[in-house]
Amino acid sequence: MTKITAAITAVGGYVPQFILTNKMLEEMVETNDEWITTRTGIKERRILKKEEGEGSSYLAIQAAKQILEKKNLDPAEIDLVIVATATPDSMVASTAAFVASEIGAKNAFAYDLLAACSSFLFGMSTAARYIESGRYKKVLLIGADKMSSIIDYTDRTTCIIFGDGAGAVLFEPNTEGLGLKDEYLRADGSGRQFLGMEGGGSLMPATEQTVKDRKHFIFQDGKTVFKFAVSNMADVAERIMKRNDLADTDVSWLVPHQANKRIIDATANRMGLDQSKVLMNIQRYGNTTSATLPLLLSDYEDKLKKGDNLVFAAFGGGFTWGSIYLKWAY
């Protein structure tokens, strides 16, 4: 039998209309454009305002609709919808189930996947397994986060970094040897003391005091997270290259999580890649968490060619991190 691989056959992306610039942040917290740009590479980020839409589901639906339109796809043909997100609409009802219903994927089952900034990367692995099994033909994977809903805009260590957005990909079977080829995914639970959100879960349910203490916003130990991210993202990207006998000349594109330009540069340097092979949009969107990787694919879709070797790399809270090697299919 011909081996079935899982290939991306369509991409979509969506960012909100409102642009929050570094200059605007200068009026909100003690910071400045030069400081933010030098240390992160970010110039602006998008924020979902109530008058445009509400919740991560709104962003996910817009990205999914792009794929339906591009492929002229009947949503009833979709077998599974996975929404990778750190900011679900609510804690119990699945955001993915709502998204599937709203786009008309009436025959799909659906669930959320949470691994912080690695959510979409881990979702790629999950979606691929469903396709490779031969049981399902069309898996819609969406990365969507409304990070502004959990950001404290008086905390300059986090408010300068994050933005809102969504991206989506469609996985389908391939018999040409294209699609997901290899992965190396990791986790270290000790990392949650350095990056996370204390309030709102079963460990610290919401109370009047947790709200007063601002426990429902994310926090991070910037220096520790940066150190872990630089070493681990670079390590897994290099490992995936060595394991697949990929030289720097074999890699068409690095598709890195957009958390910090210095982390991206360090990963590219370890891989021996020229900056011209690195996909980057952090300057426009900041860190959109689960949406960074698919938004890169959406923004650079016209540059990707069939057979291109793509190396994905991500790092997130928890800690979670990993790398995926994928051959582009169209």
Go through the domains of the chain in sequence order and give each one's CATH number: 5-177 (3.40.47.10), 180-328 (3.40.47.10)
Please give the pLDDT value at position 2: 84
309 sits in the region (left: phi over 0; alpha: psi -120 to 50; else beta) called: beta
Please give the pLDDT value at position 1: 64
Active site residue 117: yes
Active site residue 216: no
Question: Could you count the other beta carbons within 10 Å of the beta carbon of residue 76?
Answer: 10
Catalytic residue among 22, 174, 260, 287, which? 287
- pLDDT < 50 positions in the chain: none
Exposure b/e, 90-102, CB count within 10 A at least 16 = b: eeeebbbbbbbee
Q: For residues 71 and 170, give the distance between their C-alpha atoms in angstroms, rounded to a whole number.
A: 10
Catalytic residue among 159, 174, 257, 260, which? 257
Catalytic residue among 117, 159, 232, 281, which? 117
User: How deeply is 84 buried, as exposed, middle or buried, from its count of CB atoms within 10 A (0-12, 13-18, 19+)?
Assistant: buried
- Measuring CA to CA, which residue among 85, 55, 24 is closest to residue 290? 85
Q: For residues 311 and 324, give the distance between their C-alpha atoms in angstroms, rounded to a whole number.
A: 6
Active site residue 257: yes
